[in-house]
Structure formats: C-alpha cells, structure tokens
Amino acid sequence: MKQGSVMGGALLIAGSCIGAGMLALPIVTGMAGFLCSTILFFLTWGFMTSTALLLVETNGWFHEQINFLSLLDRTIGKSFKALGWIAYLFLFYALLVAYISGTGTLFASFFCSFFNLQIPDWVGSVALIVLFGWVVYLGTRSVDLCNRFLMLIKVIFFGLLVLLSITYVDPQLLLYENFMYAPKSFPLLVIAFGFHNMVPSLTNYMKGDLKRVRLSIVMGSLMAFAIYLIWGFIVLGILPLDQIMESLQTGKDSSQALSLFLNLTQIKIWAGGLAFFAILTSFFSQALSLVHFLADGFKVKHKKHESLGLCLLTFCPPLLFALCYPQLFFKALNFAGGICAVILFGILPVTMVWIGRYHKSMKGDYRFPFGKLSLVLIFTVAVSILFLQIADMLGSNII
C-alpha cells in the first residue's frame, strides 16, 4: 500500500473529530456561554492532542503493525488489556449507535421536508450500513479517498451555512457567560477531540513515519478546533438561551435547532446537509478503527480488504441498538465521552508511557516532552473529568 499523505492523514483526523460531536457541542456548551466555550475548546484541544502524542510515542516502540489492545498487553499487562477491551467496545459501539440513530432521523426529516413522505427512522439507519459499510470493508485507502471527498462537501455545506447565518448573529448573545455549567461540557468535548483510535491505523498508513503522523495529528486537530470555534460563534450568536435549553432537553442538535429557530428553507437544506456529512465522516473513521481493533483482538491477519466477519461484528450490534432505542443520540455521546473515552484516551495512554519509559526502558523515534511532570498533570486532568462525569451521572450536587 502507498504511503499516506500528511494532508490525507490530517483530513482523517479532522473527519473523525468533526462529526456528531460537533452538532451537539454548541447546545451542550451553550449554557456556559461563548467565552467559556472557547476556553473549554482550547483546554480540551491541548489535553487531547497531548494524549494522542503519547499514543504516537507508544506506537513508535514497536516496528510491526500494532493496535490498541496489543499496546496495552505489551506495556502494562493482560489485566489492563481486559479493561481496554471493555472500554473500547463500549465507546465505539456507543458512538456508532449515536451516528446510526442520528442518520435515521436525518433521512426521515429529509424525505418529509422535500418529498412529503413519512418514512420510519430505521430506513435511514439501515441505508447507512448498506450504502457505506462496504467502503469500510474495502479498507483504509478507500476510506481515506472517500473521506477526502466527503470532507470537501462538508466544508462547502459548512461555509454556505455560515455565510447564510452570520447576518442573524446577535453580538449581545455572545456576551452571556456562566462558568458553573462548564464541567458538564467536558464529556462531549472529549468526544469532539477524540481521534485517538485513528493513531495506530494512521501510523501503519504512514509506514511508521512518526513525524508525518504527528503533523497529521496537529493539523487535523487544529482544523477541528477552528471549525468548532466558528460553529459555536454562529449558533450561540443566534439562539437565545431558552432555545438552547429547550434543545438540550428535547435532544435536538445544533443544526436542527438553528433551522427550526430561523425557519428558512435554505438554512434547513444546508443545516441538514452539514449534519448528514458530519455524521458520515465520523462514521467512516470510527467504524474503520473498530474493525482494526477487532482484527487485533482476534488476531485476524491484514489482507487487501477488511474481514467481512469483522465488518458484520462492527455494524450489526450498534444497528440493532439504534433500531430498538432510536433516541439515544445525546445519551450515547455523553456516556461514551465521560467514561469510556477518558479511560481509553486519557488514563491508559499516560499509564502505558509511564510504565514503558520508566519501568521497561522502552525507546522509539519519538518521546513526548516535559518528562514525568507532564504525565502527572495529564493523568490528574483525566481522572478529574472521569470523576465529574460519574458524579453527574449519579446526580451529585458537586457540579
């Protein structure tokens, strides 16, 4: 396979980030206000990019193709490998459930708005798997090429929606702030910058060139940061606080809330298109990484195409959940980000690097800077986010 390009890798990273999480972000962070949201975006970007670079370091210790499970097994042992199995499956099945159920809702809304046809949500969910699951089966190169095309379309939809909406922005709405709501935003923010599952696949795609991998990660995550900032500016500058609260309570994402509030046909078209392509690019990235994770776990050798059995194992369970419980969009994202993603992409990378560096003397072509101090700081932040989410789920008054 030809070595992947840095831009192609960056677009895979950006595509993985800028998906369903982007649609939910302004609604979830909106209660804290635009200024607070911007600060949270920056802090989360720094935290998640750092933990991704820790994974680049661990990947550099091994010269063969290796995935997350094998990294855990060979650095911190089989007990953590079992934890990785559980957290990884929960995380990516939850994400795929969110994407599949979200697509079903978009399909139904599209046919109702433009053809006056009432179709059940499950039709769109099944169509997503049938039409686009085969691209994942064809492998990383096919997903990369398809993702580039979809990212271009998504950027066009995003740009047109911003141009159409910006005249409706009220600067006074952007001045609102309430930092008390900030902690509740972290689980979704972790998901919004959660591309770490792509690191092993990206390392293999770049033929082990860690410099190119790091460039792809930084470029892709900065693309996501910029788009989140612009999207937050538009949504929080248009929607009043009561509309944000109502959307949060009813499970509407930001594109739906925007189109309903402005009630303009053009806005509805571009908002619906942005939502669809945002979910689709994330679907590709997460589905591909889950297939590779299962291949690593079951020791399935890599071939020209992905294993059909692993693809079925990737798509069938979340499809069944999405069909049985279609209103899981926010709940699935919140659980995935607050619990599973923090364990996988915050706590475990730090633990692997600490044990690999300081107990097993593992070395590679790249070493994350600042030594033990940076590892302790990152670990403390990860545990704090995990604690906040558990407290919130238990209905604690801490936050």
Nearest to 73 by CA among 297, 295, 286: 297
% the chain with pLDDT above 70:
93
Please, what is the average pLDDT of the chain?
86
Q: Confidence class of residue 1 from pLDDT cuts 50, 70 and 90?
A: low
pLDDT above 60 (res 187): yes
Report d(CA 54, CA 356) in Å as an integer: 11
Q: Is the pLDDT of residue 61 over 90?
A: yes
Between 390 and 168, residue with greater pLDDT: 168
What pLDDT is recorded for position 331? 66
**Dihedral (Cα; 21, 30, 338, 157), 10-degree rounding:** 0
Report the pLDDT value the prediction gives residue 329, as an integer from 0 to 100: 58
Residue 63: predicted pLDDT: 81
Please check whether residue 33 is in contact with residue 185, taking contact to mean a CB–CB distance below 8 angstroms: no
Quote the pLDDT of residue 220. 94
Q: Which residues of 84-119 are buried (b: 16+ CB within 10 A; e: fewer)?
A: beebbbbbbbbbbbbbbbbbbbbbbbbeeeeeeeeb
Task: Say what the pLDDT of residue 328 is.
Answer: 59
Q: What is the pLDDT of residue 139?
A: 85
Q: Would you list the domain boundaries of the chain?
A: 6-394
**Tokens matching residue 253:** 């994402």
Q: Which of 87, 47, 57, 147 is nearest to 297 (CA)?
A: 87
Please report the pLDDT score of residue 241 as a whole number. Answer: 93
* Residues 105-139: tens digit of each pLDDT: 777 777 776 677 788 888 888 888 988 898 999 88
Q: What is the pLDDT of residues 190-231, one digit of tens each?
A: 888 988 878 887 888 888 899 999 999 999 999 999 999 999
Q: What is the mean pLDDT of residues 263-275?
A: 83
Q: Tell me what pLDDT residue 335 has.
A: 66
What's the confidence (pLDDT) of residue 302? 67
Confidence of residue 397 (pLDDT cuts 50, 70, 90): very low
Q: Which pTM does this prediction carry? A: 0.85
pLDDT at 327: 61
Look at 390 and 351; give whichever has higher pLDDT.
Answer: 351
Answer for the pair 315, 129: CB distance below 8 angstroms, yes or no.
Answer: yes
Residue 393 has pLDDT above 80, yes or no: no
Average pLDDT estimate for 144-173 = 90
Q: Cβ(59)–Cβ(212) under 8 Å?
A: no
Is the pLDDT higher at 288 or at 47? 47
Q: What is the mean pLDDT of residues 325-332?
A: 62
- 184 vs 175 pLDDT, higher one: 175
In CATH, 6-394 is 3.50.50.60: no
What percentage of the chain reaches a pLDDT higher than 90?
35
